């Protein structure tokens, strides 16, 4: 878990006091440290590229803020996009179409037409999708095929994607026929793709799926004479959310994966799709204490961020470390549940956490919220989504305004007969 500096008992983020950010921009607010974002990308990029050419496709679903995309575009990232909306965000951020790989599921023909119009390479998820794409794409259109490798892993059952019972990809037993048909339909297959799941902290599942994919790459070459250029192993590299938890050693992971690929295939390029690993610990959520409630069973800290702001604890049972930003060096001696303003018993950010004695007006910081924080937020209970702020070298920049009621009703229409 990331360590933050404390100055005079105040938490610092990128050289700025967390309390100053909260005073200037209000709460709840997501705060991203640009230096940390860049260093996370560079770490994994260097670890893999010093051994073998590797495309680092940032998984946009983790966090789609345009400023974050622009930073990663300047760092040389590629993109993993899962919707045409994500593709358009990337194009607006300056990514060239060929640096975006679209990997959708249950893809409509309308969306396929839009992707072809934008000239974005497509990672095929099903034979049905491939046949419909052939009806709207020109000869030689670049595709990859997503295989279901029957290797699944992840921090929760909802995010395991590589198991054979999931909805994703072409079954590995059908992959030869899939590439054979792709060639007969006039496509230009450049790669093969898989994804085992999200938040994986163990090296072994990645090595297992690498071995499975190597066998398929070689079988495709031997049976069809097709030499695939890119082996895309997807994303899923986790980060340590819990204090004391070990961080994934990406240098050891890179060496283990790439030595296998180099020794056993003629693949020229590896691809990875990290999202969480790049953006997660670059960002924290700041939220103000509205209310303190003590019952015979519990002490509750009521804050202005709920599962509409950060759904991961309620949805996945995920752990996010919390602290009191304006009492950052105070001893933690009382146990609290940190809960939000949503009218649901499941609305919580943290349970059974030791904190300093908390008072109304204190500032709670929730760690590791850059991935699937804002991007999974909602307007439940008619609450606007929060602002996002970028911090860099002691300066702060508003990169998304907090929503107002006007934003909530902007696209609603009342029939004129109801206005009488």
User: pLDDT tens, position by position, for the chain (420 residues)?
Assistant: 899 999 999 999 999 999 999 999 999 999 999 999 999 999 999 999 999 999 999 999 999 999 999 999 999 999 999 999 999 999 999 999 999 999 999 999 999 999 999 999 999 999 999 999 999 999 999 999 999 987 654 444 444 454 556 777 999 899 999 999 999 999 999 999 999 876 677 888 899 899 999 999 999 999 999 999 999 999 989 999 999 998 989 999 999 999 999 999 999 999 999 999 999 999 999 999 999 999 999 999 999 999 999 999 999 999 999 999 999 999 999 999 999 999 999 999 999 999 999 999 999 999 999 999 999 999 999 999 999 999 999 999 999 999 999 999 999 999 999 998
**What gap in Å lies between CA 409 and CA 388, rounded to an integer?**
21
Are 47 and 182 found together in one domain? yes
Residues in contact with 313: Cβ distance below 8 Å, sequence separation at least 6, in sequence order: 307, 319, 320, 348, 349, 350
Is position 414 within any domain?
no
Are 332 and 314 found together in one domain? yes
If one counts every other C-beta atom within 10 angstroms of the C-beta of residue 224, the result is 15
Pairing of strands 78-81, 100-103: parallel
315 phi-psi bin (left φ>0, alpha ψ -120 to 50, beta other): alpha
| Domain closes at, from 261, 278, 295 | 278
| Domain containing residue 49: CATH number | 3.20.20.10
- Domain total of the chain: 2
Are 292 and 263 found together in one domain? no
105 near 167, Cβ under 8 Å? yes
Residues spanned by the domain of 151: 34-278
CA torsion sign for 224, 144, 58, 317 is: negative
Is position 50 within any domain?
yes
CA contacts within 13 A on the Cβ side of 158: 5
| Domain closes at, from 278, 297, 328 | 278
- pLDDT given at position 201: 76
Is position 420 within any domain?
no
Residues in contact with 255: Cβ distance below 8 Å, sequence separation at least 6, in sequence order: 51
| Domain closes at, from 218, 247, 278 | 278
Are 20 and 42 found together in one domain? no
Are 40 and 13 found together in one domain? no
Is position 183 within any domain?
yes
Are 218 and 82 found together in one domain? yes
Is position 417 within any domain?
no
**What gap in Å lies between CA 274 and CA 412, rounded to an integer?**
36
What Å distances lie between residue 223 and 30, 183, 194, 227, 314, CA to CA?
Answer: 51, 13, 20, 11, 48
- pLDDT given at position 162: 45
Are 28 and 39 found together in one domain? no
Is position 15 within any domain?
yes
Is position 257 within any domain?
yes
Q: How many residues does the chain have?
A: 420
Pairing of strands 299-303, 100-103: unpaired
Are 350 and 270 found together in one domain? no
If one counts every other C-beta atom within 10 angstroms of the C-beta of residue 258, the result is 20
Are 287 and 239 found together in one domain? no
| Domain containing residue 12: CATH number | 2.40.37.10
Which active-site residues does the annotation give?
343
Question: Please, what's the largest Cα pairwise distance for the chain?
Answer: 76
Are 371 and 361 found together in one domain? yes
Are 264 and 302 found together in one domain? no
Are 184 and 88 found together in one domain? yes
* Residue that has been written with the tokens 């990514």 in this structure: 95
If one counts every other C-beta atom within 10 angstroms of the C-beta of residue 184, the result is 9
3-state secondary structure the chain: CCCCCEECCEEEECCEEHHHHHHHHCCCEEEEEHHHHHHHHHHHHHHHHCCCCEEEEEEHHHCCCHHHHHHHHHHCCEEEECCHHHHHHHHHCCCCHHHEEEECCCCCHHHHHHHHHHCCCEEECCHHHHHHHHCCCCCCCEEEEEEECCCCCCCCHHHECCCCCCCCCEEHHHHHHHHHHHHHCCCEEEEEECCCECCECCHHHHHHHHHHHHHHHHHHHHHHCCCCCEEECCCCECCCCCCCCCCCCHHHHHHHHHHHHHHHCCCCEEEECCCHHHHHHHEEEEEEEEEEEECCCCEEEEECCCCCCCCHHHHHCCCCCEEEHHHCCCCCCEEEEEECCCCCCCCEEEEEEEECCCCCCCEEEECCCCCCCHHHCCCHHHCCCCEEEEEECCEEEEEECCCCHHHHHCCCCCCHHHHC
Is position 418 within any domain?
no
**What gap in Å lies between CA 29 and CA 13, rounded to an integer?**
13
- Rounded (10°) CA dihedral 104, 273, 1, 93: -80
- pLDDT given at position 411: 96
């Amino acid at each position: 878990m990331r360590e933050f500096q404390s100055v005079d008992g105040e938490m610092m983020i990128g050289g700025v006091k967390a309390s100053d950010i909260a005073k200037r921009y209000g709460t709840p607010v997501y705060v991203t440290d640009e230096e940390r974002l860049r260093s996370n990308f560079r770490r994994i990029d260097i670890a893999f590229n010093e051994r073998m050419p590797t495309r680092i496709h940032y998984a946009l679903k983790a966090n789609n803020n345009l400023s974050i995309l622009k930073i990663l575009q300047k760092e040389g990232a590629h993109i993993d996009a899962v919707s045409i909306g994500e593709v358009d965000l990337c194009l607006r951020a300056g990514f060239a179409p060929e640096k975006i790989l679209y990997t959708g599921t249950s893809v409509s023909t309308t969306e396929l037409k839009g992707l072809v119009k934008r000239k974005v390479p497509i990672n095929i998820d099903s034979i049905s999708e491939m046949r419909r794409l052939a009806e709207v794409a020109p000869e030689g259109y670049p595709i990859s095929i997503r295989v279901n490798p029957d290797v699944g892993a992840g921090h929760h059952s909802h995010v395991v994607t590589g198991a054979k019972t999931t909805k994703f990809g072409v079954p590995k037993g059908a992959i030869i026929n899939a590439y054979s048909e792709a060639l007969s339909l006039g496509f230009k297959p450049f790669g093969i793709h898989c994804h085992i799941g999200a938040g994986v902290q163990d090296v072994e599942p990645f090595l297992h799926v690498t071995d499975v994919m190597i066998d398929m790459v070689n079988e495709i070459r031997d049976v069809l004479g097709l030499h695939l250029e890119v082996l895309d192993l997807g994303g899923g590299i986790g980060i340590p959310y819990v204090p004391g938890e070990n961080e994934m050693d990406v240098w050891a992971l890179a060496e283990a994966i790439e030595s296998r690929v180099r020794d056993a295939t003629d693949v020229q390029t590896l691809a990875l799709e990290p999202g969480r690993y790049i953006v997660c610990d670059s960002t924290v959520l700041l939220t103000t204490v509205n209310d303190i409630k003590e019952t015979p069973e519990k002490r509750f800290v009521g804050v202005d961020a709920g599962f509409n702001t950060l759904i991961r604890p309620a949805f996945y049972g995920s752990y996010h470390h919390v602290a009191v930003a304006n009492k950052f060096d105070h001893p933690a001696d009382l146990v609290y549940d940190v809960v939000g303003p949503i009218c649901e018993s499941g609305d919580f950010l943290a349970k059974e956490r030791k904190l300093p004695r908390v008072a109304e007006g204190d500032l709670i910081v929730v760690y590791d919220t850059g991935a699937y924080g804002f991007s999974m937020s909602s307007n439940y209970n008619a609450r606007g989504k929060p602002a996002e702020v970028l911090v860099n070298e002691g300066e702060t920049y508003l990169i998304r305004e907090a929503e107002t009621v006007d934003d909530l009703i902007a696209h609603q229409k009342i029939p004129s007969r109801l206005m009488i």
